[in-house]
Amino acid sequence: MSRSLDSADDPDARTYEYSDSELLARMVKYLFAYRKIFAAVVVLTAVSIVVGVWTPFVLRYAIDVDFVNGILGPIIFTALLYISLQIIGWIMNYGSGYLMALMGQRAIFDIRQELYSHVQEMSEEFHDHSSSGRIISRLTNDIDRMSELLGGDLINSFAQIFIVFAIGAAMFSADWRLALISLSIVPILLFTTIYFRRLLREAYRRTRKTISNVTSNLAESISGAKVTKSFARERISAEIFSELNEADYQSNVDAGKAQASFFPVIRFISGLGTAVILLFGGMLMLNPTLTPVVTLGTIVMFIQFSNSFFRPILIIANFYTSVQSAFAGGERVFSVLDSESVVQDEPDAKLMPEIKGQVHFNNVTFGYVEGLLVLENFNLEIHPGETVAIVGDTGAGKTTIVSLLNRFYDVLDGSIEIDGIDIRTVTQNSLHSRIGLVLQDPFLFMGTVKDNIRYGRQDATDNEILVALEAIGAKRIIENLEDGLDTEVGERGNRLSEGERQLVSFARALLANPKILILDEATSSVDIYTEYAIQKGMKALLENRTSIVIAHRLSTIVNADRIVVLENGKIVESGRHRDLMEQKGKYYSLYELQIKPRAFRTPTQK
Amino acid sequence: MGHIRRLMGYSLRRKRLFLGFLASAAIGTIFNLLTPLVIVRIVDDVLDGGQLDLLLPYTMFYIGLGLLYAIFDVAGRYGAAISSQWVIYTLRGELYQSLMEKDLAFYDENETGQLLARVTTDVSTMREFLFWGYRVIFIGAVQLVGTYIVMWTVNPGLTYYILLLLPVIAVFIYSFARKVRPVFRAARNQYGVLSSVLAENVVGHKVVRTYASEDREAKRVEKENRGFLDLRVEASRLQSLFQPMLPAIFGLVTGFLIYIGGVSIINSALTLGEFVGFVSLVGMLMLPARFLSWGVGMYERAAAAGERTFYILDAVEEVMEPENPVEVPDFAGAVDFDNVHFSYRGDKEILRDISLHVKPGQVVALLGGTGSGKTSLVNLIPRFYDVDSNYTVKYNGEIRRVNEDGYVTIDGSKYKMTNGQVDIDGQSIKVQAPGTLCIDGVDVRLYSLNDLRKRIGIVHQDPFLFSASLRNNIAFGRPEASLEEVIEAAKAAMIHDFIVALEQGYDSEVGERGVTLSGGQKQRIAIARALLANPKILILDDSTSSVDARTEMLIQQALENLMKDRTTFVITHRLSTVRNADLIVMMERGRIVEMGSHDSLIAEEGLYHNIHQTLTEMELAASIAEGEPPKSAASNIRGGSSNE
């Protein structure tokens, strides 16, 4: 349990559900959707590699031929050739860079669209089992981590291999002895890089740990500032922080040594390459007995080659490390894409017509996991316009009933019918548009109060909104908000209080005016003042429609046309409050233990 | 500008380290600049001049220069790492200190997440600048000037031509900064928009589904996604244009050099070695060009981050420690509000004209919706905020504030306050002195903050527990308390039994890695915490989420233990608590609209009466089944409520 949480916390952790080559192949598939662009990139990159290798030869020609001959015409020609190559190289690089980004970003766009619609189509089961934070990070960060790889790094890294071979071939074609000498530095370079990489990884791991301590202490201190202040304990907290802060300082300074040496050392080794070329090149050049003859231009050319040789090698050496993040992101994204929705529209699904609101659970059997049934041969008939309050202990199956009615899950056996129509024969979309759902924790979208109220009916007029608010008795509360109906609710409505959010969601449902309403009542209580408003709102909302309420509030329960008492997925009692109380059965004990204390503690009023 | 200078001020606190690493970086750069000179000599003396015996010494000299460069560069980097880390360490300490000293208005104005970002992400951005920025700008400048000097010593004639590069570099950096940065910023912003639309869709997927708005939402997502695609591609396009442009410019210069150099060699104004040296010197100019554009970006980011971070250090304290605090052994617990007004930093008034007198040991129940001001009212007592210190005038039933300059503004015209009154349209109105909040007859602003807060206990509705052991959480306000005292408090808070049932008892850790507590358990821990601190005045924000009957009883019992012999302000939804309070205060939009005991408020038949009635109805309706009141009574009540 804790292990899976940890691995979820570390965004670079891999599950190896997919192998590296699978991931790579799959990512490349998205790029191949843009075949023409891909071909253009290959051509442009090839030209730019040729230009890059050709350039030092031009310089050699200038030194060895033009300068020796001392004629102006050819010098001007060589200079112009050199300049032209630079300009062509620039254009090629620009073109390939742009096209790679275009292709890569389109691929990212496609992946994101695909994942979004996939997530949207996934059944409730998926959402129930994954925290929304994780799904969001799949859609945002995880996809984004593939962005650089697809937008250039992948093709670029691949191109480096050709660059290395092209330079190598050019060197050997020019002078095999100097080529061998130049390449003698490569193993040293590789070993040093590997050595430092290990050192740095260790150092980073330590600093990551200390900085995360600092950050979490800061987070806690800021969130708990009120408590710290109210107990006047600032000094002690500051001492604890100071310790963590110091540890972070120390670990970073330690890491600083390896960090500071890495690049200068690599550069020094590459400088050694130049020195070796100068030394051996010079000896070869000044010893005319050795053929072929080495010229000054060749030495200069080799220095240039060796300078441009190291970067590709470093990029190739680091390729595996640098793509790990993208691979981890890809793995997380693809695993969601590959999961399948349990509930799917029938191929010949029809649209749900206008309904009266008659609901019938017909011998329904259902369980979330195999072998553990939540409902077994469950039967319930609700008449149009009836208000049914469902009560029962946690786990009795209350939420399951409404989830099934919404077809968030499919029944294992039996059927659910609305006005005699099996809900599996209609599209999910049309089914949902007939059923209103008011959730325990009302979710509001960013925007104004007004935007949110008209969410289900975009064409509603201001007047209709006001009428709806009036009907649920929330007009006074909403008008008391800073900007009334135009008040921004903030992210997920966090600028409103829970009670206010609740009322807005009531108004939203009322305006959408569904024939069937499902209401999952909040268990948390609000202050008396808001409770009063909510009770009034509820009455208006339930009127004239079939309503199924997972009820916690006494007022709702008492006012319901029928109370259905659930126990272990079975209806054990059903009737009105008064009758059920007289039976002194399950309902009576639920009432005494839960419903009553929630509504008011020990009534002491005479 | 100012922010970077301020940041530099921190670096300069360790002047020798700071100047040392800069000097080291500069010296390393100079060694690097000398290497082309060796190449010039090798080409001219050895390769062209045939002095083979000089080849090895020259090469060794070349390697030596490279080694010195590496050594000084490492030293410069390491010094910069220490210096930057030290500045960050110091800055974080100061920020922490400052955060602890802030009044609550500050925490209300700034979201937790944003504050955290200011002390983490923004501080990291500054570290990047402290580590790279100085060196990059400094090395860039040294290398730029140094390369030209070295060129000059090699061949002044050719140097003139290369000097032409300077304006090109300047234009390059300028145009890059101007074009690319806004696009990158726009792309980043668009990413934020896209993320929040996606997040909304995930968190609110049930709502989207129930209102069958999938298509509308999908369109919204696609629109934002496409917007992001376009901006990202545009940003990459500009980058692809500019990134290879710099090497291309330098390549052009080399091409140009072939021509000029060729001509000079024909005229014997340049040797082959000097030409080769120039080729590598031109390459060296690339670094300053790259560094400067990089440095400018870093500088800007650090300045922006500095602005956000220093904001915390600079935020003005509204609540101040008195100069000569009044010392009292303990409070008796009398709390008096007299004509109190309150507004956040002089903005919209949150509380108006509050007068409330509470005797020691009394229980005050505060009622009201969100924004009614009940939380602000209790926050004034421990001085999380201070009462407004303006004079006020009551004109046409409205209360107006007299500003610091002694004027009051009504409908656009200003009136001066003289001799404790203001003349408005011939009418003389007495000025009301600033409101006060006193504990035991002494203004709260005269007690030391430490004493004041230690003697006031607060239990929040969603209590915040720290990631520490249960014992430490309970002893939070009195870390020196013995285990016996902690246990005693836990017993009174009805949480002892729960704690000892845990595997590690009082040493159990709270939080991610430890035990998970329910709301009711957290609340009782917080009650124990308050009990141990033993305050004379208690503030309870008791709007517990519903819990089962047993927990409810435990909490109730714990609260009763806690409230004993203390002046208590309670924000609650429990009807029983409200009924039993000595004083019920009904608030709406910052004012007290009704106040009195339960009986007197019921007799008044105001808002409290209505609310109370609605809730009592339920009680009655529910008790019907228990056979108490006759049917007719129930229907009467129901009829009454629908008239309402």
Least Cα separation, residue A327 to chain B (angstroms): 21
Q: How confident is the model at residue B478 (pLDDT cuts 50, 70, 90)?
A: confident
- Mean pLDDT across B287-300: 83
Q: Which of A44, A229, A352, A494 to mutate to test the interface with B (most CBs of B within 10 A)?
A: A229
Distance from CA of B416 to the nearest CA of A (A): 31
Those residues whose C-beta lies under 8 Å from the C-beta of residue B532, and which sit 6 or more positions away, are B474, B475, B477, B478, B481, B485, B486, B489
**Alpha-carbon span A234 to B101, nearest angstrom:** 8
Residue whose pair of structure tokens reads 């003698």 in the numeric block: A184
Residue A382 reports pLDDT greater than 50: yes
Work out whether strand B413-418 and strand B567-572 pair parallel, antiparallel, or are unpaired: unpaired
Between residues A131 and B251, the one the model is more confident about: B251
Model confidence at B435, pLDDT cuts 50, 70, 90, reads: confident
Q: Are strands B537-542 and A570-575 parallel, antiparallel or unpaired?
A: unpaired
pLDDT value for A12: 60
**DSSP label of B47:** I
Place B643 in a pLDDT band, splitting at 50, 70 and 90.
very low
| Residue B630 pLDDT | 38
CA distance A381 to A418: 10
Q: In this predicted structure, which of A597-601, B210-214, B248-252 has the lowest mean pLDDT?
A: A597-601
- The pLDDT value recorded for residue A56 is 93
The DSSP bridge partners found for residue B430 are B421
Asked whether residue A67 carries a pLDDT value surpassing 60, the answer given is yes
The alpha carbon of residue A257 is apart from the nearest alpha carbon of chain B, in Å, by: 6
Asked, colleague to colleague, whether B2-155+270-314 and B445-643 share their fold, the answer is no
Instruction: Tell me the pLDDT band of A123, cut-offs 50, 70 and 90.
Output: confident
Higher pLDDT, A555 or B120: B120
End-to-end CA distance of chain A: 53
Mean pLDDT for A70-88 is 93
Radius of gyration of chain A (CA): 36
Sort out which chain B residues have CB atoms less than 8 A from A152's CB and list them.
236
* CB neighbour list of residue A103: distance below 8 Å, 6 or more residues apart: A31, A34, A37, A38, A41, A150, A151
Among A89, A96, A105, beta carbon nearest to B232? A105
Q: What is the DSSP letter of B370?
A: T
How many percent of chain B have pLDDT more than 90?
28
Backbone phi, psi, residue B427, to 5°: -95, 130
Q: How would residue B502 be classed by pLDDT, with cut points 50, 70 and 90? A: confident
Q: Which two tokens mark B81?
A: 């790492």
Tokens 């929330």 correspond to what residue?
Answer: A474
CA–CA min distance A393, chain B (Å): 11
Instruction: Give the model's confidence band at B1: pLDDT under 50 very low, under 70 low, under 90 confident, else very high.
Output: low
Q: Region A426-438: what's the mean pLDDT?
A: 85
Name the strand (E) or helix (H) holding B409.
Answer: strand B407-410
pLDDT at A120 over 80: yes
**Could you tell me if B120 and B88 are in contact, meaning their C-beta atoms sit under 8 angstroms apart?**
no
Q: Do A530 and A475 touch, CB atoms closer than 8 A?
A: no
Nearest-Cα distance to chain A for B383, in Å, is 10
Query: Which of B618, B623, B624 best tests the A interface by mutation, with the highest count of A CBs <10 A?
Result: B618
Would the CB atoms of A529 and B369 count as touching at under 8 Å? yes
- Residue B626, pLDDT score: 44
Percent of chain B with pLDDT over 70: 92
Residue A576 phi/psi, 5-degree rounding, is -90, 165
Q: Does B429 touch chain A (CB under 8 A)?
A: no
Residues 443-462 of A with CB under 8 A from B: 443, 445-446, 455-456, 458
**DSSP letter string, B477-510:** G-TT--HHHHHHHHHHTT-HHHHHHSTTGGGPBB
Give the H or E element holding residue A67: helix A67-69
State the Cα angle at B249 between A39 and B137, rounded to 5°.
Answer: 115
Question: CB distance A530–B195 less than 8 Å?
Answer: no
**Coil/strand/helix, residue A370:** coil
At B504, the pLDDT band (50, 70, 90 cuts) reads: confident
Q: Which of residues 275-304 of B touch A (CB under 8 A)?
A: 275-276, 279-280
User: What is the predicted pLDDT for the residue at B512?
Assistant: 62
Give the per-residue pLDDT at A528. 64
The fold of the A359-597 domain, in CATH, is Rossmann fold (3.40.50)
Distances (CA, A) of A161 to A22, A27, A167, A262, A303: 21, 20, 10, 23, 20
pTM above 0.90?
no
pLDDT of residue B543: 58
Asked whether the beta carbons of A79 and B254 are under 8 A apart, the reply is no
For domain B445-643, give the CATH superfamily. P-loop containing nucleotide triphosphate hydrolases (3.40.50.300)
CA–CA separation, A51 vs A45, rounded Å?
A: 10
Segment B381-397 mean pLDDT: 81
Q: Does A257 touch chain B (CB under 8 A)?
A: yes
Buried b (16+ CB within 10 A) or exposed e, B160-191: ebbeebeeebeebbeebeebbbebbebbeebb
Per-residue pLDDT at B514: 67
Which residues of chain A lie closer than 8 angstroms to B77, CB-CB? 256, 259-261, 263-264
- What CATH superfamily classification does B2-155+270-314 receive? ABC transporter type 1, transmembrane domain (1.20.1560.10)
Longest CA span, chain A = 123
Kindly report the average pLDDT of chain A as a whole number.
Answer: 85
Sign of CA pseudo-dihedral B622, B627, B629, B631 = positive
* DSSP bridge pairs for B510: B515
pLDDT in tens, A522-538: 665 556 666 677 777 77
CB A365 within 8 A of CB A378: yes
Query: In chain B, what are the domain boundaries?
Result: 2-155+270-314, 390-433, 445-643
- What are the residue ranges spanned by the domains of chain A? 1-174+318-339, 359-597
Helices (H), B13-54: 15-41
**CA–CA separation, B142 and B138 (whole Å):** 6
Over pLDDT 90: what percentage of chain A? 33
Q: For residue B605, give the DSSP letter.
A: T
Higher pLDDT, A395 or A582: A582
pLDDT given at position A523: 60
Length reported for chain B: 644
Mean per-residue pLDDT, A217-241: 80
Chain B (193-222) residues lying within 8 Å, Cβ to Cβ, of chain A: 194-196, 198-214, 216-218, 221-222
Q: CA B215, B217, B220, B226 torsion: positive or negative?
A: negative
Give the highest mean pLDDT range of A129-133, A169-173, A500-504: A169-173
Question: Considering only residues 67 to 126 of chain A, which have any Cβ-Cβ distance to chain B shorter than 8 Å?
Answer: 67, 70, 72, 75-76, 78-80, 82-83, 85-87, 89-90, 93-98, 100-102, 105-106, 108-109, 112-113, 116-117, 119-120, 124
Q: B525 vs chain A: nearest CA distance in angstroms?
A: 13
Asked if B385 and B103 touch (Cβ cutoff 8 Å), the reply is yes
What class is the A1-174+318-339 domain? mainly alpha
Give the C-alpha separation, A97 to A104, whole Å: 10
Q: Between B601 and A473, whose confidence is greater? A: B601
| Cα B467 from Cα B473, distance rounded (Å) | 8
Mutation choice for A interface testing from B89, B278, B557 by most A CBs within 10 A? B89
What pLDDT does A601 receive? 42
Residue whose pair of structure tokens reads 């670029």 in the numeric block? A156
pLDDT of residue B549: 62
Q: Which two three-digit tokens encode residue B123?
A: 């501080």
Spatial contact of B546 and A552, defined as CB atoms under 8 Å apart: yes
